Amino acid sequence: MKKLFMAFAVAMLSLTANAQDIFGTWVTGDGDGNVEIYESNGKVYGKVVWLAKGPDTRDTHNPDAALKNRKLVGVNLLSGLTKKDKKWEGGKVYDPKSGKTYKCSIWLDGKDLKVRGYLGVFHATQTWKRK
Domain harbouring 57, CATH code: 2.40.128.520
What's the pLDDT score for residue 20?
63
Within a domain: 15: no
- Per-residue pLDDT 10s for the chain (131 aa) are 454 444 444 343 433 344 469 999 999 999 999 999 999 999 999 999 999 999 999 999 999 999 999 999 999 999 999 999 999 999 999 999 999 999 999 999 999 999 999 999 999 999 999 99
DSSP letter at 71? B
Within a domain: 8: no
Within a domain: 6: no
DSSP letter at 111? T
Q: How far apart are the first and last CA of the chain?
A: 36
Within a domain: 37: yes
What's the pLDDT score for residue 26?
98
What's the pLDDT score for residue 73?
98
What is the count of structural domains for the chain?
Answer: 1
Within a domain: 12: no
Within a domain: 54: yes
Asked if 35 contacts 131 with a C-beta cutoff of 8 angstroms, the reply is: no
What's the pLDDT score for residue 48?
98
What range does the domain containing 62 cover?
Answer: 22-130
